[in-house]
C-alpha cells in the first residue's frame, strides 16, 4: 500500500497478507484515527477504520465474505452484530456517521441480477439480508436508494464469467448515514464505467 501525495493516508492491514485490509485517503486531516473495533477476532483481519472529523465520523469497513464455509458465515454475522453495536454506541454519544464499504451482501432482489438463482448463496441469503433490514430499522439510510430506485445498478461483477460485459452483477458496496444526517446528503452514485477491479467505485456528496 502506498501513500498518495497531498492526502493523509491511513492503512489497516490484516495479519493474513493479500486477504483483507482497508485504506483511507483524506485531504482533510482527521481529528482522530482508529483501526478496529477493539475485538481481537475481528481486528486481526484489518477490516475497520474510523476517521473523526468535525461534523461526522467516517467508518471505512470491509465486511467479511461468508461464502467459504458455515464457520465463515457465522463469523460474518457476528461481525455484522458487533458493527451495529459499535455504530449505535457512536450515535448515542451524539455523533453523525458516514459509513462506506463492501457489505458483501446484496440487500434486495433489485440489487442482484439473478435473485432466484442466488437465494441459497452467501451474499444473498435471507439471514444476511434480514440483518440489513435490522440495520436500517436502527436508524440508518442507504444513501444510493435516496436518489436511484432503478434495477440493474451493480457494483461487483464476477471475473470468472465476464459478468461485467453482460451487467450480471451484485450491489455489494454502500454508503450509509444515520437518519439525522441524511439531509446533508446531496448525491450518492456509482462510477460503473471505472475499470481496474471486479468492483466499481461509489461516491457520496454531502453538504456541511
Domain boundaries, given as residue ranges, for the chain: 8-206
Rounded to whole angstroms, how far apart are CA atoms 86 and 34? 13
104 is in an annotated binding site: yes
Asked if 156 and 169 count as a contact pair (C-beta separation under 8 A), the reply is: yes
Grade residue 2 by pLDDT with cuts at 50, 70 and 90.
confident
Question: Residue 8 catalytic?
Answer: no
Q: Does residue 156 register a pLDDT over 90?
A: yes
198 is in an annotated binding site: yes
Asked if 106 and 117 count as a contact pair (C-beta separation under 8 A), the reply is: no
Lowest mean pLDDT segment, chosen from 13-17, 141-145, 173-177, 190-194: 13-17
What's the start-to-end Cα distance of the chain, in Å?
Answer: 30
Q: Does residue 140 register a pLDDT over 90?
A: yes
The counts of H helices and E strands in the chain are: 5, 12
Q: Does residue 17 register a pLDDT over 90?
A: no
> Given 62, 86, 140, 154, which residue is catalytic?
62
Say what percent of the chain tops pLDDT 70: 100
Question: Residue 149 catalytic?
Answer: no
What mean pLDDT do residues 54-76 have? Answer: 95
**What per-residue confidence (pLDDT) applies to 1?**
61
Q: Does residue 197 register a pLDDT over 70?
A: yes
Instruction: Assign a CATH topology to domain 8-206.
Output: Deoxyribonuclease I; Chain A (3.60.10)
Separation in Å, CA 179 to CA 48, 59, 74, 140, 145? 22, 16, 28, 5, 13
For 39-57, give the DSSP string: -HHHHTTT-EEEEE-SS-E
**What per-residue confidence (pLDDT) applies to 18?**
78
- Burial code of 51-86, b = ≥16 C-beta within 10 A, e = fewer? bebeebbbbbbbbbbbeeeeeebebbbebbeebeeb
199 is in an annotated binding site: yes
> Given 8, 43, 189, 199, which residue is catalytic?
199
What mean pLDDT do residues 184-207 have? Answer: 97
Taking the complete model, does pTM exceed 0.85, yes or no?
yes
What mean pLDDT do residues 112-119 have? Answer: 96
CA 91 from centre of chain: 18
Under DSSP, the state recorded for 67 is: -
102 is in an annotated binding site: yes
**What per-residue confidence (pLDDT) applies to 68?**
76
What mean pLDDT do residues 34-45 have? Answer: 96
**What per-residue confidence (pLDDT) applies to 95?**
98
Lowest mean pLDDT segment, chosen from 3-7, 41-45, 142-146: 3-7
> Given 10, 75, 80, 102, which residue is catalytic?
102
Rg over alpha carbons for the chain, rounded to the nearest Å, is 17
Grade residue 161 by pLDDT with cuts at 50, 70 and 90.
confident
**What per-residue confidence (pLDDT) applies to 198?**
95
| Spatial CA neighbour of 82 closest among 66, 63, 69 | 63
Question: Which helix (H) or strand (E) is 185 found in, with range?
Answer: strand 185-190
Question: Residue 140 catalytic?
Answer: no
Amino acid at each position: 500500500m502506498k501513500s498518495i501525495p497531498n492526502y493523509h493516508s491511513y492503512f489497516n492491514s490484516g495479519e493474513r497478507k493479500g486477504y483483507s485490509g482497508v485504506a483511507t485517503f483524506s485531504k482533510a486531516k482527521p481529528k482522530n484515527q482508529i483501526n478496529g473495533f477493539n475485538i481481537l477476532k475481528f481486528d486481526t483481519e484489518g477490516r475497520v477504520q474510523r476517521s473523526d472529523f468535525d461534523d461526522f465520523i467516517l467508518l471505512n469497513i470491509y465486511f467479511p465474505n461468508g461464502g467459504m464455509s458455515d464457520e465463515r458465515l457465522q463469523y460474518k454475522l457476528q461481525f455484522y452484530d458487533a458493527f451495529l453495536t459499535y455504530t449505535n454506541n457512536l450515535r448515542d454519544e451524539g455523533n453523525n456517521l458516514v459509513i462506506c464499504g463492501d457489505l458483501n451482501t446484496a440487500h434486495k432482489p433489485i440489487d442482484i441480477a439473478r435473485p432466484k438463482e442466488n437465494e441459497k448463496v452467501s451474499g444473498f441469503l435471507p439471514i444476511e439480508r434480514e440483518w440489513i433490514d435490522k440495520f436500517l430499522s436502527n436508524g440508518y439510510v442507504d444513501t444510493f436508494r435516496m436518489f436511484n430506485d432503478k434495477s440493474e445498478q451493480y457494483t461487483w461483477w464476477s471475473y470468472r464469467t465476464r459478468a461485467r460485459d453482460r451487467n450480471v452483477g451484485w450491489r455489494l458496496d454502500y454508503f450509509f448515514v444515520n437518519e439525522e444526517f441524511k439531509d446533508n446528503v446531496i448525491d450518492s452514485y456509482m462510477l460503473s464505467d471505472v475499470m481496474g477491479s471486479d468492483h466499481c467505485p461509489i461516491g457520496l456528496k454531502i453538504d456541511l
